[in-house]
Each structure stands twice: as structure tokens, then as C-alpha cells.
Amino acid sequence: MANTQVKRLMLLLIVALGVASVYKYIDYVNKAAATEGWSASGGAPASNNKYYNNNNNNEQHLFTNSTGDSSPIRAAMVALVRNSELDGMRATIRQVEDRFNRRFGYPYVFINDEDFTEEFKEGVRAMTKAPVHFGKLPPEHWGLSEHVSEEAVQEALKRNKDRYIYGGSYSYRLMCRYQSGFVHKHPLLKDLDYYWRIEPGVSYFCDIPYDPFRYMRDNRLVYGFTISPMEKADTVETLWETTRKWILQNPDMLPDKSFIRWAVTDNSKYTMCHFWSNFEIVDLSFYRSEAYESYFQHLDRAGGFFYERWGDAPVHSLAAAMLLRKDQLHWFEDIGYHHPGYAHCPNKPDMVSQCVCPRSSDYMYRSVCNRRFGRTEDVVKSRALELAGLPDKAEK
């Protein structure tokens, strides 16, 4: 009899604890839902507006996403990736989906210089319910530029092999040239207005409950970034000099105002500052513009993608600085991000609550280039031409 009563008491205790746990979980869910209304100053719109999508229906047209208004956004996540990078790409997609795209359903576009394997396709499709597209890049977009000689390139690779990372890599140079002048020309991107570049093996530290594409469009932003480091000077020894020549040869292509003083000092010294283009959200009309195409062709004729190691990041950044205004550029401070080499973690209280990342990942709050971005203003066209006309000399 006593044992029966003890068993009944134990059963009642277990039930009571279970009910309490359920109510505790419901309370947690309610509080979590309430925090979706966060507002992050300096780059993240409030959640009670059109940038947020609480609709879980991901059935959309190709390259189109609409979050409630009548104007769809033609955008996608785009990656240039090898079959061998499947594991890293799957890890990236999982984070992009968890942090952002499960709420919006934007498509993915994967580009390779070889045919994608069925293993890669199946592995990627398993990570998302969004549309996925695979494409092989056109052969004319990949390979040695017609403006350089193979012999001279091989000599440059040997000379630079031990000078800096990827100094002797031919494939890395092909990638940089492709990302600088061809990725936006791929047939799979022809119907896109915006793209978000993603890469294998990166980390997204923060929830992104709003739509960065819509935020870019509605605020007439052209180029969005998360990290802005300095380039290694040895890799771009003649890039600014070559850029100066393009400016002086094409003054009519410069806008009335530009942000060029972020990239060069008052003494026309190249600052080496650039937007790290492994993460970029871009209005593709910029890369398709006559001015950008002219600039890329000028750089390609100079041969620096192969003879030096001009990266797509400094190329994109110099183009953005000399062809755009500051109010067309945007630092996504609230998007915590890590690519091997640098990491950014927001430190503002209303942003930190959305992130899981090492507090030591504060590079952007120490970055010389980010501080310069904050204090630099646009200059008029005549001043930009002056800066291009001055000889490159050390800043006093």
C-alpha cells in the first residue's frame, strides 16, 4: 500500500514538472518572437516594415522574390565554386538558410569552370528548398587574357611565388579576373538585378530577419559590404597608376561627385583600402555599366591580373570609389561574417542580441579603412581629376 502511494506521488511530480517545462518553453517562444522586433541603428531596418518577410511560402518565380509589395526583386545568391568544395559550400548554405534565406527563398546560382558532378548537385539541393541553378562558365570568360603572353605570365608566377599568398598560382589569377569582369555576364545572371556573393567555408554569425536586397533597392544603394581591410601592396604595385591613366583618358565617365578620396589620399597615394568582395551585395547595373566595362577592359589590357596579382576586391573597390557616391555604398554592420583572414562581429547591444560570435571578432572597429570610410566625404569631379593627375607620392 505504501509503495503504491509513493508511486502515485512520483507520477504526479513528473506530470507537474512536465507541465511546468511546457509553460516555460511557451514563455521562451513568446519572448523570442517579441525580440523579432529589434531595431539596429546604422544599417538594419526595423522589423515592422516591408523589409521583413513572415511568409513561409517559398514558391516563387525564377530569380524573383516578393515580400508583400507589387514590385518583385530579381536577385540570387551566387557562388563560383569547384566540385571539391562541396562540404564547405554545404556549410555556407546551411548558415545562409538558417540566418536568412529560409524566410525569403531566394534562389542560388552555382558556377564552375567544369561540369558540376551529380554528387555536388545533390549535396547542394539537400540543403535548401529554394530554387538552385548550376552553370558552366563560357570558355571565353576563363583562361589567359589575349593581352598577355604565356611566357611572361610564367615568369611572373615564378618571380612572385614566394612574395605573397597565391603569388605563384595561375588558377587564383583566373578566378580574380573572372570575378572582376565576367561573373555578371554569365547567362544565369542575365535576369538578375542584384546578387549576393557567397563562398564555401565562411561563417554568418547573426540572424538577418530583414531583406538586404529590398533594403538596397529601396534606399538606392549600389554596393554593400561587411569587411574593408587593406590590400597587400606587393600584389597591386601598378594598379592605382593604371587606374589613374583610365581616369585621365575617360574624364566624361566620372560622376559629378565620387567617393574616390577613400581610395586615395590628398597626395594621390593609394590607401590600399578595399571592400572584401568575398561578401558583397551589388546592384548589377553597376558592373554592367559602360564606365565599369571600360575600366575593366583597360585593366585587362594592362596585364596586371597575371603579371601582378590584382584581386577582384581592389578592382571592385576602386571602381566603386571613383564611380559612386558615399550614399550609394553601405556597410552591413549588423551582418556578422567570417572568411579565413578576417572576421566582423557587431558590438552594438541591439545587434549583439542577434549574433553568436567571438567578441574578439571586432576587426571592423579597429580597421583603418573602416575609420577612413566613416570620416571621408565625396569630392567633386574636378577634384577627382586633380587626384588622378597628381603623381603618386608618399603622404606627408
pLDDT band at 29 (very low <50, low <70, confident <90, very high): very low
Decide if 114 is catalytic: no
pLDDT digits (tens, 9 = 90+) for 124-136: 999 999 999 999 9
Handedness of CA 278, 279, 283, 286 (dihedral sign): negative
Amino acid symbol at 251: P
What cell does 216 get?
538596397
Crossing angle of helices 86-99/118-125, nearest 10°? 20
pLDDT score, position 4? 57
pLDDT score, position 318? 98
pLDDT more than 70, % of the chain: 81
CA distance 100 to 209: 6
The alpha helices in 251-307, defined as continuous H runs, are 290-302, 304-307
Say whether 65 sits in a helix, a strand or coil. Answer: strand
SS (H, E, C) 215-264: HHHHCCCCEEECCCCECCHHHHCCHHHHHHHHHHHCHHHCCCEECHHHCE
Say whether 67 sits in a helix, a strand or coil. Answer: coil
pLDDT digits (tens, 9 = 90+) for 104-125: 999 999 999 999 999 999 999 9
Say whether 329 sits in a helix, a strand or coil. Answer: strand
Query: β-strand 337-339 against 203-204: which pairing, if any?
Result: antiparallel
DSSP 194: E
Kindly report the length of the chain. 396
pLDDT digits (tens, 9 = 90+) for 143-160: 999 999 999 999 999 999
Q: Decide which of 14 and 217 is more confident.
A: 217
Query: Which residues, in sequence order, are CB contacts of 315 under 8 Å at separation 6+?
Result: 176, 180, 239, 296, 299
State yes or no: pLDDT of 26 exceeds 80.
no
Mean pLDDT of all residues in 257-285: 97
pLDDT score, position 72? 85
CA distance 222 to 213: 10
CA distance 144 to 190: 24
State yes or no: pLDDT of 15 exceeds 90.
no
Q: Where are the beta strands (DSSP E) in the chain?
A: 75-80, 108-112, 132-136, 194-197, 203-204, 223-225, 257-258, 280-283, 329-331, 337-339, 342-344, 379-380
Out of 59, 146, 237, 280, the active site residue is: 280
The label of the residue with cell 597626395 reads 267
pLDDT digits (tens, 9 = 90+) for 46-89: 444 455 443 433 333 344 443 444 478 999 999 999 999 999 99
CA distance 138 to 115: 11
